[in-house]
Structure 1
Amino acid sequence: MGNRRKGREAALQFLFQRDMSGAVDTQTVIHYWEENPADSETREFANRLLLGTVEKLADIDQHIGQFSSHWKLGRMAAVDRNLLRLAIFELAYCPDIPMKVTMNEAIEIAKKFGSEESGAFVNGILDQIAKTVKK
């Protein structure tokens, strides 16, 4: 597994934790990296995604709401919701990451951490959003 995949998975777990408890404290992050050792590049990428997603959360959630008319944010599975947030941050605010890479990674991570339908669900919403994002 590549450094960026590990970083995305870590950022997803941090966002999930934040979603469930309202915050991600420093101890949680330290403990995660003790249990899941990674090089500095992976950690930096995870932090970039986490901090950027949290900073742009209101805009990102607005995008999700716009393109998931049948699913309110609160009704989505927490994994799907937070994975969409990460991927939308990448699509909209990380021009150095190819759109196709972001989408493929999100779908694969959804299949790994989400439900049986998560990959298709994430793909459907990201496909719509990707058409509106200019890189």
Structure 2
Amino acid sequence: MSRRKAREMAVQALFQLDFNAGVTSEEALTAVFSEREGAISETTKSYAKSLVEGTQSNLAAIDNYISDLSREWKIDRMAGVDRNIARMAIYEMKYSEERLQPGVAINEAVELAKTFGTEDSSRFINGILGSIVKNKQLS
């Protein structure tokens, strides 16, 4: 299983869910999976699904973490890709059954930001997540 690939697909699905009211997580994931060339293992699909559903289930609490530390930007004014990468990283650090160490989660999020975001996204993601780790209890 490629967790990086699962995270990439999960971010794409979360982005779709963020901007398309009425789309279910299952529909968003199906669309993302169908766009991928080649076979995607069931374990990779399963991990992507758990990331999407877990992030969605904890969205209000996750958004509170982000809002508390990014006073200059309201959550709805953040770039959609950045917002969803940060949400998923926080889910993996705080709520996932297999919690990631903050350094690993931040590194993965920064790499996703480099792939999907703008030139400034990786610095923004690193700053937001670093602030959360420094200022909040993640356990």
TM (norm. structure 1) is: 0.91
Matching residue of 2:137: 133
Is the 1:92–1:133 contact (alpha carbons within 8 Å) kept by the matching residues of 2?
no
1:5-46 Cα distance to aligned partner (Å, 9 max, x none): 111111100110011102433344223223313111111111
1:27-74 Cα distance to aligned partner (Å, 9 max, x none): 442232233131111111111110000000000000000010101011
1:66 corresponds to 2:60: no
Is the 2:93–2:99 contact (alpha carbons within 8 Å) kept by the matching residues of 1?
no
Query: What residue ranges of structure 2 are gaps of 5+ in the alignment?
Result: none
Matching residue of 1:30: 30
TM (norm. structure 2) is: 0.88
How many residues are aligned here?
134
**1:102 aligns with one of 85, 102, 105:** 105
Percent of aligned pairs sharing the same letter: 42
In the aligned structure 2, how far is the partner of 1:42 from the partner of 1:112? 19
Matching residue of 2:120: 117
Query: What residue ranges of structure 1 are gaps of 5+ in the alignment?
Result: none
1:63-97 Cα distance to aligned partner (Å, 9 max, x none): 00001010101111000011111011111113442
SS of aligned partner of 1:97: coil
In the aligned structure 2, how far is the partner of 1:107 from the partner of 1:38? 23
Matching residue of 1:81: 83
